[in-house]
């Protein structure tokens, strides 16, 4: 039988996020057939070390720390080429200006370029899995473009098929329009075998009770279940969303289930958070965007912990924050500590403890759970797919390291990510993305941005901005 070529990373520190394996100061990770086959502490006696065989690629991991690739559970990747332009916009205007105005101006190629740019940028910063929350299905070609961008980059992704943007409110204000039926074509064309290249899967993103009429939000959820798709829904971010009591409505309709991920959740009541926990649902905190978006409610992190929910993290929209997961972790830790200080010792005493490893877990294994893939990714575990980032611990901002989890959460950044593997394949090596001309990519994105801004004027006028 022909042997496959293995990748062996030797003398590497490991932060596995796997409870059995834990943390190792020096280990050998063996990768075969796209999966981790073993993680063994470095043998003290070289004679007993596992041998190599012809064709193995052996990486010297000295000075590197291996940890699971991050999993971002909610990103509007299509907006990647218009990033950071709306930071100072009145947050209420975001919906009119960015979603209704610019969103309506998006052509299929802009979605392709945005998804490609966002995926490559994610990979470069250690994110190996992206839930592409794609509410820009303006035509079937837009969906094709989104999938093509994810596919070309080599990232692991969930394509979350949504609805079209339009300059009016018809899709998002008590909408009576059902979820686009093209999702059936997308499923048949790309996901008949369950995934594209064992890497990209399909989910549905919902408007839910906050944006759709009762017939429509019940229909969209039933359609997802008929198609066997997990769902994700923005819920309770702004005060106005609280009136919809979306989670309570799902519960009353007996539709709440473990296949649902709720994004933001700021204005959910404690009872609603408990309903999510009791029904096995998951959540996604887009903390950088939530803190940057004036008008969003208080971060519900501590209230979630009290119900037993462990959140996943997400980059949300780069129009007003960063998609980088290091930042999400840092923001959450700072939020946590500053809130305990602000609200005093009685509050701190009733708040469940949070560690640096918990924060790393939210960015990895909890993300895997939120997309239903915890058996495959989210920790460095033999048998799981080899989605790994290797961080340079000799960098001046990190070393000399005492507590690897603290160093990663407090101080690591994209520049420290030396190598990234998705399914055992290098997508970033020695600090550079593999097989992509980043200058060409940036030029393509710049052209898309320019064309979009040119076209957007007419749609913004229709949207009243």
Interface with Zn ion by CB under 5 A: which residues?
316
For Zn ion, which is the closer residue by CB, 99 or 463? Answer: 99
Q: How far is the CB of 39 from Zn ion (least distance, A)?
A: 35
Q: How far is the CB of 95 from Zn ion (least distance, A)?
A: 11
| Chain centroid offset of residue 21 CA | 25
The residues facing 196 across adjacent strands are 200
Burial class of residue 344, CB neighbours in 10 A (0-12, 13-18, 19+): exposed
For Zn ion, which is the closer residue by CB, 316 or 318? Answer: 316
Strand boundaries in 192-337, DSSP class E: 200-206, 231-235, 260-264, 282-285, 312-313
Q: How far is the CB of 75 from Zn ion (least distance, A)?
A: 8
Burial class of residue 420, CB neighbours in 10 A (0-12, 13-18, 19+): buried
| Chain centroid offset of residue 65 CA | 22
Residue nearest to Zn ion (CB): 316
For Zn ion, which is the closer residue by CB, 24 or 289? Answer: 289
Q: How far is the CB of 133 from Zn ion (least distance, A)?
A: 6
For Zn ion, which is the closer residue by CB, 21 or 313? Answer: 313
Q: How far is the CB of 158 from Zn ion (least distance, A)?
A: 14
Residue 117: which of 84, 93, 83 has the closest Cα?
Answer: 83
Q: How far is the CB of 85 from Zn ion (least distance, A)?
A: 17
Number of DSSP helices (H) and strands (E) in the chain, helices first: 17, 17
CA distances to 212, 293, 300 from 297, in Å: 22, 9, 8
For Zn ion, which is the closer residue by CB, 288 or 428? Answer: 288
Q: How far is the CB of 119 from Zn ion (least distance, A)?
A: 17
Q: How far is the CB of 274 from Zn ion (least distance, A)?
A: 23
For Zn ion, which is the closer residue by CB, 70 or 131? Answer: 131
> In the structure encoding, which two tokens stand for residue 437, read together?
């001309």
Q: How far is the CB of 284 from Zn ion (least distance, A)?
A: 9
CB count within 10 Å of CB 208 equals 25
Q: How far is the CB of 235 from Zn ion (least distance, A)?
A: 10
Size (the chain), residues:
465
Residue 14: which of 417, 390, 399 has the closest Cα?
Answer: 390
For Zn ion, which is the closer residue by CB, 16 or 73? Answer: 73
CB count within 10 Å of CB 428 equals 25
> In the structure encoding, which two tokens stand for residue 47, read together?
């004679």
> In the structure encoding, which two tokens stand for residue 6, read together?
């293995």
Report yes or no: 248 and 308 within 8 Å, Cβ to Cβ.
no
CB count within 10 Å of CB 310 equals 18
For Zn ion, which is the closer residue by CB, 135 or 428? Answer: 135
For Zn ion, which is the closer residue by CB, 117 or 289? Answer: 289
CA distances to 28, 33, 64, 155, 427 from 382, in Å: 12, 12, 19, 21, 21
CB-facing half-sphere around the CA of 75: CA atoms within 13 A? 38
Q: How far is the CB of 263 from Zn ion (least distance, A)?
A: 6
CA-CA-CA-CA torsion sign (262, 268, 271, 272): negative
For Zn ion, which is the closer residue by CB, 132 or 316? Answer: 316
For Zn ion, which is the closer residue by CB, 79 or 449? Answer: 79
The percent helix, strand, coil of the chain (3-state, each to 5) is: 40, 20, 35
Q: How far is the CB of 316 from Zn ion (least distance, A)?
A: 5
Instruction: Classify residue 352 by its DSSP letter.
Output: P
For Zn ion, which is the closer residue by CB, 182 or 316? Answer: 316
- d(Cα 12, Cα 36) in Å, to the nearest integer? 14
Q: What angle do CA 319, 149, 103 make, to 5 degrees?
A: 40
């Amino acid at each position: 039988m022909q042997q496959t070529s293995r990748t062996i990373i030797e003398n590497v520190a490991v932060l596995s996020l796997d409870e059995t394996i834990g943390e190792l100061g020096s280990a050998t990770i063996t990768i075969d057939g796209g999966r981790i086959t073993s993680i063994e502490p470095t043998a003290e006696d070289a004679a007993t070390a596992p041998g190599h065989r012809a064709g193995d690629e052996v990486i010297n991991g000295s000075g590197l720390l291996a940890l699971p690739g991050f999993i971002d559970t909610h990103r509007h990747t299509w907006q990647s080429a218009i990033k950071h332009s709306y930071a100072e916009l009145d947050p209420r205007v975001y919906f009119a200006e960015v979603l209704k105005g610019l969103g309506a101006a998006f052509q299929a190629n802009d979605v392709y370029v945005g998804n490609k740019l966002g995926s490559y940028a994610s990979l470069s910063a250690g994110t190996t899995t992206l839930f592409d929350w794609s509410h820009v299905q303006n035509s079937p070609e837009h969906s094709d473009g989104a999938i093509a961008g994810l596919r070309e980059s080599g990232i692991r992704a969930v394509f979350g098929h949504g609805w079209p943007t339009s300059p009016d409110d018809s899709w998002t204000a008590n909408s009576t329009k059902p979820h686009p039926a093209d999702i059936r074509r997308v499923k048949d064309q790309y996901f008949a075998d369950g995934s594209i290249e064992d890497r990209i899967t399909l989910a549905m993103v919902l408007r839910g009770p906050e944006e759709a009429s009762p017939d429509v939000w019940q229909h969209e959820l039933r359609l997802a279940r008929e198609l066997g798709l997990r769902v994700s829904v923005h819920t309770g971010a702004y005060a106005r969303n609280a009136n919809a009591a979306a989670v309570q409505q799902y519960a009353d309709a007996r539709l709440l289930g473990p296949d649902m991920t709720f994004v933001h959740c700021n204005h959910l009541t404690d009872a609603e958070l408990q309903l999510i926990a009791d029904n096995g649902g998951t959540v996604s905190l887009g903390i950088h965007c939530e803190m940057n978006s004036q008008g969003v409610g208080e971060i519900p992190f501590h209230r979630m912990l009290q119900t037993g929910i462990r959140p996943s993290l997400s980059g949300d929209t780069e129009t007003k924050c960063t998609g980088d997961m290091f930042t999400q972790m840092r923001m959450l830790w700072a939020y946590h500590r500053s809130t305990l200080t602000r609200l005093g010792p009685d509050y701190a005493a009733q708040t469940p403890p949070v560690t640096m490893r918990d924060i790393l877990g939210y960015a990895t294994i909890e993300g895997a759970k939120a997309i239903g893939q915890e058996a495959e990714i989210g920790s460095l575990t033999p048998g799981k797919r080899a989605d790994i980032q290797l961080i340079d611990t000799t960098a001046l901002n990190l070393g000399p390291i005492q507590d690897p989890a603290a160093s990663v959460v407090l101080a690591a950044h994209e520049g420290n990510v030396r190598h990234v593997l998705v399914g055992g394949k290098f997508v970033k090596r020695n600090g550079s993305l593999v097989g992509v001309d980043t200058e060409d990519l940036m030029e393509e994105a710049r052209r898309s941005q320019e064309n979009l801004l040119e076209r957007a004027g007419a749609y913004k006028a229709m949207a009243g901005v």
